[in-house]
Every structure is written in structure tokens, then in C-alpha cells.
Amino acid sequence: MSKNSLPDFNNTELAFRHLSDKDLSRGKMLFQLLSRPWLVKLGSVLARIALFVKFPIGWAVRPTVYAQFCGGEDISDSEETIELLYRSGVRTILDYSAEGVDTEKELDSTCSEILKTVTAASNDPRHAFAVFKPSGLSHNDLLEKDPSKFTSLEKEAWERVVRRVRSICATTSEAGGSVLIDAEETWLQDAIDKLAEDMMTDFNRERAVVFTTAQLYRHDRLAFIKDLASRAEEGDYIVGVKLVRGAYMEKERERAEKNSYPSPIQVDKAATDSDFDLAVEFCLDNLDRVNLFCGSHNEKSNIKLCEMMKERGLSSDDNRITFSQLLGMSDPITFNLAAHGYNVAKYVPYGPIREAMPYLIRRAKENTSVAGQTSRELTLIRSEIERRKR
Ligand SMILES: Cc1cc2nc3c(=O)[nH]c(=O)nc-3n(C[C@H](O)[C@H](O)[C@H](O)COP(=O)(O)OP(=O)(O)OC[C@H]3O[C@@H](n4cnc5c(N)ncnc54)[C@H](O)[C@@H]3O)c2cc1C
């Protein structure tokens, strides 16, 4: 495979060669089900009820949505997925997404689990980054509140949050790895941005260890990235930035309307797309100062990034640029990029089935609501099944 040619996301042979016929049939069945919004709605409600009354649902979930979108119940259970991806040149980002954690004990235990992912990734070329959601390490009300108004108990709790975040970043730095800090809702994000920038200032002196995240569905994020880069220039450190469009659009708009403040979200999809492209361009033009992690399932965005790299004479495996998709989604993008030598990694969520349910419900809804995404996945899977019959 020539490293200079651009990937073709319609190449289903390369896209799915890591999957058996059985895996493909499962994918086809699943995406067929996900293409029916009423079924996804009904399934989500039933799953929530089953979780609430502690009805065992593992038997139904494990071989279907869980097998599609999750690596395993713990790190060792995810081994098969990690190896399968790596054999096709795709690296893993172990994603322990604890949701609804509340007590200090639970927050500490999430931190320990994330540290395990850092250790697992250390000296193992199959892993790309570690990742965490700050809301798994802090109460949401602390992230939301203005620190100047903290009570003394809140101050202590916040110091524990900072200690958790710092221990993850320091351990990653010592292990020679990199860590992504996920972005969340705007009302939590100011605190997260500040934490991420503090960590970059401390750990990104020689290379990009810590990556912050910018959601380009926000109309203020392009300016945010540029400001971040100029502060990094002044402070002489490197910015790592994960660019995504953003996952909480409906929630953001509803809250803004309910509380009568201007929506932080762009006026339309075209405006989000345009800022996404401009942000990618800005990173590429400032690569020595800003390392780029592009998290997207959008074919145009991914191919545009490949084209922009080519125009600038950057090699496809430039280690300042990473592409990424979620496990079980957009394999044609991931595996065709890998076959052309790009740095590409999958988020591999893991955890006990019950704890993974909120994540799986979100994936099911996202695959239903993103116009064209499911039908695109389905079309390509069908065409590969037909190709294999020939
Ligand atoms: C590896 C990876 C990591 C991720 N990490 C995060 C994270 O840390 N935080 C986070 O919030 N999300 C994260 N996401 C999810 C991401 O933000 C998107 O929700 C998802 O990837 C869909 O966007 P897209 O670029 O893949 O595709 P597309 O289908 O092209 O874009 C869909 C997105 O466009 C935006 N959009 C849609 N309609 C409109 C509209 N009318 N007006 C304005 N904007 C609109 C929304 O953001 C929507 O999600 C991540 C995704 C990936 C692949």
C-alpha cells in the first residue's frame, strides 16, 4: 500500500479484513436494528428499567451492542480487541468511562482504574493514549462552581480533584505516554479547560503529554484554540488538542433556552463544519506548537485532513498528528487510514456490562440520530458481505 496515496473509504476489503463473516453479520444485524428510531427508543427505555430493577441483561447485551462497541469487562478482557486492532495497524485508547460516580471513594477508585490504563499502555506499542473524563474524578457541582466561592470543605475536595488529575498526568509523562482530557458540557468546561491548561504548562515542556479537547460546535472554540496557542508560545510549552464537533448539542441548547442565556452552540451544522476545518488547518500550520488529535467519524473531515497533510508535505505517519474513531463505528475510515500509514487509534471503552449501559445507550442513539451515519455503515457492511461471496 503506497503511503503517498490518499485512502479510499469505500475500500471495504481493507476496512473489514479484521472481521470474520460472523462479525460482519452481527454488525449488519445491529446497524439494521439501530436504523429504526422507535426500536432504539424502546430498547433504551427497557434497558433503563432493567438496570433500575437489577434485572439481568448481560445475556442479551454481551453478544450484541456490547460486543460491537466495548472491548471487555476489564483491561485483560479487552486483550483480544487490542491485539485485533494492532494487527491492522490501529492502536488502542483504553477508555474507562465510569458514569454516575459520586462518593470520594468512587472518585478515587476511578482514578486508580485510569492509572491502570496508563500502566497498561506503558512500553506497549499497541496503545496510543490514555484518556479520562474529569467528571469521573470530581463532583459535577465542584466543576460547575466558581472556585472563589468554595467553602473550606469544597476547597479540600477540589485539592483532591487536582491531585487525581496531576497523578494521572505525571504517571503518563513518566511512562513516556500521552493523555487526553475529554470535553464535557459548557457549564463544567471552564474548570476543565483551566485544569488541562495547568497540566499542559507543567508536563508539555518537551513534547505533548497532555491533550485538552475543543468542541467545534461551540462558536467560541476556534478563538479559544488560537489563544491557547499564543499563551503556549509565551509560556514555551506545547499544546496538545483533540478536535471534536461535540456530543451534547441538544442538552446545551435546551439549557440555554430554559435559563435564557445565549446558546453556546453554532447556528447550524455548516458553521460547526467550517470551524472544524479551520481548527484543523490552524493546528497543521502551527504543528511545532500545537499537536493535533482529530476525533471524528466524518469522512470529509478525515479525507480533508489527509489532503491538507499532503499539501504541506507532511508524512502520513507524522507523530504530531493522530486520527481517531470509536470502537465499532466507522471502521472504513479507521482501517483505510491505517493501511495508508496514518497514526490512527480507536477509543476502546471497557467496564462491567451494567456500568457500560449508559454509554451503550448513547452509542445506540447517536447511530440513530446522526443522519446518514447508520445507513453508510450498513451499506458498506452489505457491500463487503457481497464482495466476499464473489
Ligand atoms: C475519538 C473521539 C473522541 C471524542 N471525544 C469527545 C469529547 O471529549 N467530548 C465531546 O463532546 N465529544 C467527543 N466525541 C464525540 C464528537 O464530539 C461527536 O459527537 C461525534 O464524533 C460526531 O461528530 P463527527 O465529527 O464524528 O460527525 P458529523 O456527523 O459530521 O457531526 C455530527 C456533529 O455535528 C454537530 N452538529 C450536528 N448538527 C448541528 C447543528 N444543527 N448545529 C451545530 N452543530 C451541529 C454536533 O456536534 C454533532 O455531534 C468524540 C468522538 C470521537 C470519534
Going by alpha carbons, the residue nearest to atom 37 of ligand 1 is 269
Q: Tell how far the Cα of 354 is from the centroid of ligand 1, in angstroms.
A: 25
| Residue in 244, 329, 348 to alter for ligand 1 test, most ligand atoms within 8 A of Cβ | 244
Going by alpha carbons, the residue nearest to atom 51 of ligand 1 is 295
Q: Region 136-148: what's the mean pLDDT?
A: 94
Going by alpha carbons, the residue nearest to atom 38 of ligand 1 is 269
Q: Tell how far the Cα of 349 is from the centroid of ligand 1, in angstroms.
A: 17
Of all atoms in ligand 1, which is nearest to the CA of residue 370? 29
Q: Tell how far the Cα of 228 is from the centroid of ligand 1, in angstroms.
A: 21
pLDDT band with cut points at 50, 70 and 90 for residue 2: low
pLDDT band with cut points at 50, 70 and 90 for residue 257: very high
pLDDT at 5: 79
Of all atoms in ligand 1, which is nearest to the CA of residue 182? 8
Q: Tell how far the Cα of 248 is from the centroid of ligand 1, in angstroms.
A: 8
The answer to whether 61 touches 70, Cβ cutoff 8 Å, is no
pLDDT at 188: 97
pLDDT at 369 over 60: no
Which residues on neighbouring strands pair with residue 95, listed in sequence order? Answer: 349
pLDDT at 21 over 90: yes
Domain limits of the chain? 73-353
| Residue in 99, 245, 277, 299 to alter for ligand 1 test, most ligand atoms within 8 A of Cβ | 245
**Phi/psi at 207 (nearest 5 deg)?**
-155, 170
Q: Region 109-137: what's the mean pLDDT?
A: 94
Of all atoms in ligand 1, which is nearest to the CA of residue 267? 42
pLDDT tens track for 328-363: 999 999 999 999 999 999 999 999 887 887 888 877
- Number of helices (H), then strands (E), in the chain: 17, 8
Q: Region 130-144: what's the mean pLDDT?
A: 95
Joined grid coordinates for residue 237? 510549552
Three-class secondary structure of residue 341 per DSSP = coil
Q: Tell how far the Cα of 77 is from the centroid of ligand 1, in angstroms.
A: 28
Q: What proportions of the chain, in percent to the nearest 5, are helix, strand and coil? A: 60, 10, 30
DSSP state letter for 169: H
pLDDT at 278 over 90: yes
Q: Tell how far the Cα of 23 is from the centroid of ligand 1, in angstroms.
A: 26
Least confident range from 62-66, 69-73, 101-105, 114-118: namely 62-66
Joined grid coordinates for residue 334? 479507521
pLDDT tens track for 100-116: 778 999 999 999 999 99
pLDDT at 17: 93
pLDDT at 235 over 70: yes
The answer to whether 121 touches 130, Cβ cutoff 8 Å, is yes
pLDDT at 148: 92
Give CA–CA dist 316/271, Å, rounded.
Answer: 28
Q: Which residues line ligand 1 (CB under 6 A)?
A: 182-183, 213, 215, 217, 244-249, 265-266, 268-269, 272, 295-298, 301, 324-326, 347, 370
Question: How far is the first Cα of the chain from the last one, in angstroms, to the nearest whole number?
Answer: 23
Give CA–CA dist 241/283, Å, rounded.
Answer: 9
pLDDT band with cut points at 50, 70 and 90 for residue 62: confident
pLDDT at 372: 59
| Residue showing cell 438496570 | 51
Give CA–CA dist 264/220, Å, rounded.
Answer: 8
DSSP state letter for 65: I
pLDDT at 63: 79
The answer to whether 110 touches 134, Cβ cutoff 8 Å, is no
If you write DSSP's letter for every residue of 302-332 in order, what string do you get?
A: HHHHHHHHHHTT--TT-TTEEEEEETTS-HH
pLDDT at 186: 98
Three-class secondary structure of residue 345 per DSSP = strand
Which residues on neighbouring strands pair with residue 346, listed in sequence order? Answer: 92, 325
Q: What is the mean pLDDT of the chain?
A: 92
Joined grid coordinates for residue 54? 437489577
Q: Tell how far the Cα of 296 is from the centroid of ligand 1, in angstroms.
A: 7
Going by alpha carbons, the residue nearest to atom 30 of ligand 1 is 298
Which residues on neighbouring strands pair with residue 348, listed in sequence order? Answer: 94
Q: 73-353, which class in CATH?
A: alpha beta
Which residues on neighbouring strands pair with residue 93, listed in sequence order? Answer: 347
Helix (H) or strand (E) holding 243: strand 239-244
Joined grid coordinates for residue 264? 453556546
pLDDT tens track for 313-324: 999 999 999 999
pLDDT band with cut points at 50, 70 and 90 for residue 4: low
pLDDT at 176: 95
Give CA–CA dist 185/137, Å, rounded.
Answer: 15
pLDDT band with cut points at 50, 70 and 90 for residue 118: very high
Helix (H) or strand (E) holding 184: none
Q: Region 218-230: what's the mean pLDDT?
A: 98
pLDDT at 3 over 90: no
Which residues on neighbouring strands pair with residue 323, listed in sequence order? Answer: 294, 344
Q: At what angle do helices 331-339 and 299-311 cross, to 10 degrees?
A: 20
Going by alpha carbons, the residue nearest to atom 2 of ligand 1 is 295
